[in-house]
Amino acid sequence: MPLESVLLLLDTSEQTRNSDYPPTRLHSQIDAANYLAQSIINGNPESTCGVLTMGGQPRLLTSCTDNLGKILNSLSNLTHSGTTNLPHSISVALLALKHRRNKNGRQRIITFIASDIESKEKELGKVGKMCKKNNVGIEVISLVPGEEETIKKLCDTANSNDNSRVVTVPVGSLASDVIVSSSIGGDSGGGGGMPMGGDDPELAAAMAASMSGGPPAAASGGGGGDGFDFDPSMDPELAMALRVSMEEERRRVENQNKTEEKDEEKMEAVKEEKEEEGGEDDAILKQALAMSVDGGEDPTFYEQMTTGVSDEDEAMQLALAMSMAGGDGGDEDAIKEALMGMEGVDEEDEDVKRAMEEAKKGKKEE
């Protein structure tokens, strides 16, 4: 991350009591400011950050410092007061940046707007030109509907080399969640501009969604609920490790699915092959039985021979024995002699006896 000095401007006017941004507009700003401050300080050891409130009279709570504890402490004691004078507050912020400790690096003002803008466009244009002249970028986080045009004109006037922009938070959303995936969060994120998932918006959204209290809550000790118990901006190396681990797991699941599909295809092929082999064996058996007797073209002879023989191998052995006996189904002695040399066929087997009797009976009837 580049060296920078950033001043956070928080709107503490009476309008920030509204609860259209949970829990209130003020507390939504505080959560987001916590996240931004930690990201800036952890992004570069020489970067500094300060806090200024805009409700009533602008107050510089903390000048630009690298003491994160001091910054977070100043954000924990904010109260509502008066109305906001945006041009005057930005002028005070410019003066504070002018007297920053480290004169090197870029300068930025990140201002929250959570109340109606009562200033005239001429005043906003004037302060915008001052920012551009001093090369100070303005980044606005809007929590008030209907002021988009006015805010955009301010940023367009101050813009130089794309250092000014607007982020609008939808009503009902957490400002911290929107900042995480915005250009503001990307510029100030720790670990080389990769807060909450780097250049992977899906990972950033997943990490943000997994933390029930949002990134600032996790960073300030609020815990991640049933999600992560750390702030990725505080430990970018761990966040990167999680990203790599998620990618490896996705690839492992894909490879496993492909392997299972191939195994199923192989099983189907083996099954079909066995069915084809079974059909061939059945045809050979019929042919052997037909050859074993005279008039082998009789289609009922196969059924007669296999009646009572439960095993196809036994039926095959019997048919071969009859064939070896000279094809005469009635020559019992010849069949017995052939069976003696057949492995696995016992002439005393009840099934074999029954098959031979059926064959002899069929021969006599002919």
Asked if 222 and 284 sit in the same domain, the reply is no
The CB density around residue 68, as the number of other CB atoms within 10 Å, is 15
Q: How many domains would you assign to the chain? A: 2
pLDDT reading at 25 higher than 60:
yes
Contacts 24+ apart (CB under 8 A), 310-314: 310/351, 311/351, 312/281, 312/282, 312/285, 313/344, 314/344, 314/345, 314/349, 314/351, 314/352
- Residue 259 domain flag: no
Is the pLDDT higher at 298 or at 132?
A: 132
pLDDT reading at 167 higher than 80:
yes
Asked if 212 and 291 sit in the same domain, the reply is no
The two three-digit tokens of residue 68, written as one number: 């994160």
- Residue 211 domain flag: yes
Task: Give the chain's mean pLDDT.
Answer: 75
Q: What is the pLDDT of residue 31?
A: 94
> Among 207, 234, 261, where does a domain finish?
234
Q: Tell me which of 60-64, 192-196, 299-303 is least confident.
A: 192-196
Asked if 76 and 136 sit in the same domain, the reply is yes
From CA 112, how far away is CA 68, in angstroms rounded?
20
- Residue 218 domain flag: yes
Asked if 25 and 70 sit in the same domain, the reply is yes
pLDDT reading at 192 higher than 50:
no
Range of the domain at 104: 4-234
- Residue 252 domain flag: no
pLDDT reading at 346 higher than 70:
no
- Residue 203 domain flag: yes
> Among 234, 249, 280, where does a domain finish?
234
Is the pLDDT higher at 293 or at 95?
A: 95
Asked if 39 and 179 sit in the same domain, the reply is yes
pLDDT reading at 125 higher than 90:
yes
- Residue 260 domain flag: no
Asked if 202 and 337 sit in the same domain, the reply is no
Strand order in the sheet with 48-53: 59-65, 48-53, 4-10, 106-113, 136-142, 165-168
Q: Which range has highest mean pLDDT (169-178, 255-264, 348-357)?
A: 169-178
Q: Tell me which of 41-45, 214-218, 303-307 is least confident.
A: 214-218
> Among 234, 259, 288, where does a domain finish?
234
Asked if 66 and 145 sit in the same domain, the reply is yes
Q: How far is CA 131 from CA 171, 336, 358, in A?
A: 29, 114, 112
Asked if 211 and 316 sit in the same domain, the reply is no
Q: What is the pLDDT of residue 10?
A: 97
Q: How many CA atoms lie within 13 A of 333 on its CB side?
A: 0
Q: Specify the CATH number for the domain of residue 222.
A: 3.40.50.410
Q: Kindly indicate the confidence band of residue 37, based on its pLDDT and cuts at 50, 70 and 90.
A: very high
Q: How many CA atoms lie within 13 A of 64 on its CB side?
A: 27
Asked if 330 and 222 sit in the same domain, the reply is no
- Residue 26 domain flag: yes
From CA 300, how far away is CA 218, in angstroms rounded?
85
Asked if 17 and 112 sit in the same domain, the reply is yes
Asked if 84 and 32 sit in the same domain, the reply is yes
- Residue 206 domain flag: yes
Residue range 67-90, pLDDT digits in tens: 999 999 999 989 999 999 999 999
Q: What is the pLDDT of residue 210?
A: 44
